[in-house]
Amino acid sequence: MEFGTDLDFPNFGRLGGALDWQLESSMPLFGTKFSANPTYHKHFYFYPLAALVLLHYLMMTSCTAMKRLSLGTDQSALLALNARITSEQHEFLSKNWSSTAAPSSVCDWIGVQCSSRHQRVTDLNISNMGLTGTIPPDLGNLSFLVSLDLRNNSFHGNLPEELSHLRRLRFILFSNNRFTGEIPMWFGHFPELRFLFLDNNGNFLEGNIPEKMGNLSVLKDLSLSGNYLSGQIPLSLCKISQLQSLDLSSNRFSGHIPKEIGNLEKLTYLSLMTNNFTGTIPREIGNLQNLQGLNLEWNQITGSIPKEIGNLTMLTELYFANNSLTGTIPQEMGNLYQLENLQLPYNGLNGSIPRGLFNLSALRNIALSSNLLSGNLPPDLAYRLPKLLFIELAGNNLGGVIPVSISNCSQLRVLELSINGFTGSIPDALGDLRLLQYLKLLLKTSEIKGTIPSQTGNLTNLLLLDLQSNHLTGGIPTAFKDLQNLQDLTTNRFSGSIPECFGNMTSLRDLELGNNFLVSAIPNSFWNLRDLLQLNLSSNSLNASLPLEVGNLKAITSIDVSANQFSGDIPRTTGDLQYLLNLNLSQNQFHGSIPESFGNMLSLQGLYLSHNNLSGFIPKSLEALRDLKELDVSYNHLSGEIPSGGRFRNFTAGSFLFNDALSIAVKVFNLELEGVLKSFDVECEVLKNLRHRNLVKVISGCWNQDFRALVLEYMCNGSLEKWLYSDNYFLDTLQRLNIMIDVASAVQYLHEEYSTPVIHCDLKPSNVLLDEDMVAHVSDFGIAKMLEKEESFAWTKTLATVGYIAPEYGSEGLISAKCDVYSYGIMLMEVFSRRKPNDEMFAGNLNLKSWINDSLPNSILRGFSSIMELALKCVGESPTDRLRMKVVLETLKKIKLKFLQVRQADE
């Protein structure tokens, strides 16, 4: 029961009116008792006093009753919310919010606060409680609510319109939930709203920002990040003059950044990162002189950085990374004296770095990597940068010597100067950067010369040292013994032996010493590096044998000692390395047999033993390596039969070449030839073990140095595309149904019935061939992908045919079985409408999918509605919205059965 917006005065007024009427009606009685007699005077004074006492009593009683009734309304609303909660991680509410409690106890419930004046719920904070459920309409009855905080739960579904009744709300905090649907227009109806947080709702909020949100005239903070919102920024937002923080990041917004955004002069934080904004940065952004944080990274913004950015003198954070900005860095940015973080990498900026940037004494991070910047770094680069922690200038055209003054950046943690054109030597002064953790000088022009300074040993906090692709010479400094925190070391062109002191670098995780001129044996202390994860000593001149102590590297995941001069037996203790993924011992002089213990390395994915002097059998224990994807034992002296179990059935003959005494039960292919097509290899890999009546069979293969070819089963009726679009060819409805059932059957086999799931990736009519009985056979696996059983998706850089490609495949390279389902749905539409997805009639926002969707209600495709409805269920924007191919096949068979029944009845 509600009594309006004010409990005191309106209700008291109504009580007062009733009492006034009672007093008026009693006045004649008072009048008859009044006389000069003192007794009558006593009665005269007594009755009004009694009436006043009665008035006070009635007012207090009625007020208490109405407060009880109003608080009961709040209690009912909260209990309705509690009833909608389906899961509760901590059970706070279920143990505290009781339906049997008196309404007066509501104000003591957890997460609830009431006003002292009205005893009504004004603050509901149930954030971080691990709640799952939906929001009931009853919540709109909390008419005194000022703050509603549901953050960090799993509420889902649409937001009920009844929330629009909460006109007193100042705080709507719904971050980190799973709400769906569009942002309701009634969000513009909260005249008191200061803070609106709808961010990080699992990418489920979609649609445009309502224009009416511009009515929130006192709004200070608007956060909509981490959703699936689209469209342009409405100009009405740019009229909210009190706005101080605007975060629209991680959505699908597009269009230009409106110049009117410069009207938000109180703005201190603006983030539009990770969207699809295009056009240029408006120069009006320079009007936002209170701005402290500006983030536009990961968009498609073009043009130059406007010089008006230099007006933002309060700015501390500036992020423009991963756009397509061009031109020079404005000199005016040297005015940003409060700037702490400057992030401009992955653009097309050119010219030299303005000297003014090196005068910004508050600067902590500067990242300008992957641009087209040129020129030399100034000699006094670091004199005015006492707080600098990160310098990232990799991937430019910078030259000259590395300034000695960089040693003045005593707080520096990261120095990344790779892939530039620096010359000279590594300054000894780098040894003064005692806090440095990452040093990368990988250079594309290989002009850094000389030796590694011994002062490098002072960098005792160093975690990563990458000096590859230079002309550095000499031995590895013994000063490295002090780098006990070093985890990643990559160098080249060094000579001499590996120092004994490496055994002291117990934090080492990644050691890359490949392609050097190292000689001699690996020192015994080296095998003390028990936390080592990756070891690459390939392409040196190391010799002697590997000791049994190699088994001490219990954490190792990759060992590559290929192309050296190691000899002796392969240590049997190598089989103790349970986490090893890749083992490359090729191109050495190992002899003896392959250890039986290799079968214990159950994580192994790649085993490379070629070009040695190994003999004996291939151990059957290797059949236990279920994750083994690559095996190469070619160019040895192995004998006996090749194991047939486990992953061995997937290996080609090239894995076993040139072992004269080895019994090979397959045709030998020379895989050493260069210039082979990747698609050929993929198709061989996919087709060699597939067995299904609706897949094209491979009879044989042939090739020479100039070409490769597969010999396939001949399909005399050609492709489905020919039968759809060529003159004098016709398919009736039943034939089309049968063909699409055949295709669905083949695809279901690839996805769910073959031992390794196969994604075709390029389903279309031209890849469906018809035999003499018009039975369909799926062909062309040139870009197919094989998934492991536990994998549901993978990534690829190979694009399929435009029009048939799923959205996530085209935009992100993400492939799964649902990509084939999408392509199949497009094919289904095409086969029954005879419209190609790239037909000339489809332009702008019109495509085959939307045309079919619009045509169904109008009966343009009369007779095919059930087929087209099935097709639309295959082409959902999200993979989760699409059917499994098994369901598609079953549904299509039911449609065929119904079609036959109807046709038989008609006959």
Residue 13: CB atoms within 10 A of its CB come to 9
Residue 793: burial class (beta carbons within 10 Å; 0-12, 13-18, 19+): middle
List CB contacts of 32: < 8 A, sequence separation 6 or more. Answer: none
d(CA 384, CA 368): 18
Q: For residue 435, what is the enclosing H or E element?
A: none
d(CA 223, CA 201): 11
d(CA 245, CA 222): 6
Contact 848, 825 (CB under 8 A): no
CA geometry: angle 449, 455, 457, nearest 5 deg: 110
Angle between helices 865-874 and 885-906 (to 10 degrees): 180
Taking alpha carbons only, the member of 412, 342, 400, 339 closest to residue 371 is 342
d(CA 795, CA 839): 29
Taking alpha carbons only, the member of 751, 821, 741 closest to residue 776 is 741
Contact 758, 690 (CB under 8 A): yes
Q: For residue 13, what is the enclosing H or E element?
A: helix 9-33
DSSP string, 577-628: -TT--EEE--SSEEEEPPPGGGGG-TT--EEE--SSEEEEPPPGGGGG-TT-
Residue 260: burial class (beta carbons within 10 Å; 0-12, 13-18, 19+): middle
Q: What is the DSSP letter of 750?
A: I
One-letter amino acid at 561 equals V
136 alpha-carbon distance from chain centroid:
32
d(CA 389, CA 304): 27
Q: What is the DSSP letter of 792?
A: S
DSSP string, 527-565: GG-TT--EEE--SSEEEEE--GGGGG-TT--EEE--SSE
Residue 684: CB atoms within 10 A of its CB come to 16
Contact 263, 238 (CB under 8 A): yes
Q: For residue 75, what is the enclosing H or E element?
A: helix 38-83
Contact 135, 159 (CB under 8 A): yes
Taking alpha carbons only, the member of 785, 774, 776 closest to residue 750 is 785
3 state DSSP class of 315 = coil
Residue 751 phi, psi (nearest 5): -80, -40
889-897 — which CB contacts under 8 Å span 24+ positions?
A: 889/741, 889/744, 889/745, 889/748, 892/737, 892/740, 892/741, 892/744, 892/867, 893/741, 895/737, 895/866, 895/867, 895/870, 896/734, 896/737, 896/738, 896/741
Residue 400: CB atoms within 10 A of its CB come to 15
Q: What is the DSSP letter of 410?
A: T
Q: If you count them, how many residues does the chain have?
A: 907
Can you name the residues that pair with 317 across neighbouring β-strands? 293, 341
Residue 899: burial class (beta carbons within 10 Å; 0-12, 13-18, 19+): middle
Told to judge if 108 belongs to the known catalytic residues of this protein, a careful annotator would answer: no
Catalytic residue, from 74, 762, 780, 820: name it: 762
Active site residues: 762
